[in-house]
Amino acid sequence: MGREIERKFLVRDMSVVAGIPGVAFRQGYLSTEPERAVRVRRAGEGAFVTIKGISGPSGASRAEFEYPIPAEDADIMLDELALRPLIEKTRYRVEAGGRIWEIDVFAGANDGLVVAEVELPAEDAAVVVPAWAGAEVTGDARYFNANLVAHPYRDWA
C-alpha cells in the first residue's frame, strides 16, 4: 500500500524561491469525503489521479495511491467534473537540511497562502526546519488542499 508521510509549514520568507523555476499546478477534487479524497492534477505537462485516505492522529501520515493519466482526460475532469474552486498553485522544489521541500504558492481563491511540505520516510523522522519556514500546520485540516476547495483561504477571517 502507498503511504504519504509529510509535515507542512507556512513560509515566512519568499526569497527562498527567488530564481528557482516553478511548475504550474491545476488540481481539482472529485471527492472530498473525510475517509477519502480523489484528486485530479495537471502538473506542468503531466497529469495524475490520486486517491488519499484519512489522516492518522498526527495528521502526517495517510494512505496514498497516484497514477498517471492522459492529460486530455485530466483537463476534461477538471473542467467538467471537479468541485469548485479548483486549486491553482506554483510549486517550487528546494533542498534544505538534507531533504527536498516543496513550496506551494497558491493563486486564485487561495491567493496569499504559501505552504512548504517535506516528505519523510517515517513519522518520527528528524526534520531540520529551515529559517525561511514559519509555523507548523501539519495537523491543521484547514491547510489540506481538499479543504481549501470548500473553505478557500480568501474567506478565512
Find out whether 23 and 139 touch, Cβ atoms under 8 Å: no
How far apart (Å, rounded) are the C-alpha atoms in residues 137 and 24?
Answer: 23
Q: What is the grid cell recorded at 147?
A: 479543504
Active site residue ranges: 29
Count of other CB atoms within 10 angstroms of residue 78: 19
Pick the closest to residue 146 from 44, 46, 67, 41 (CA basis): 41
Q: What angle do CA 52, 56, 58 make, to 5 degrees?
A: 125
How far apart (Å, rounded) are the C-alpha atoms in residues 74 and 77?
Answer: 5
Q: What is the grid cell recorded at 7?
A: 509535515
Find out whether 60 and 6 touch, Cβ atoms under 8 Å: yes
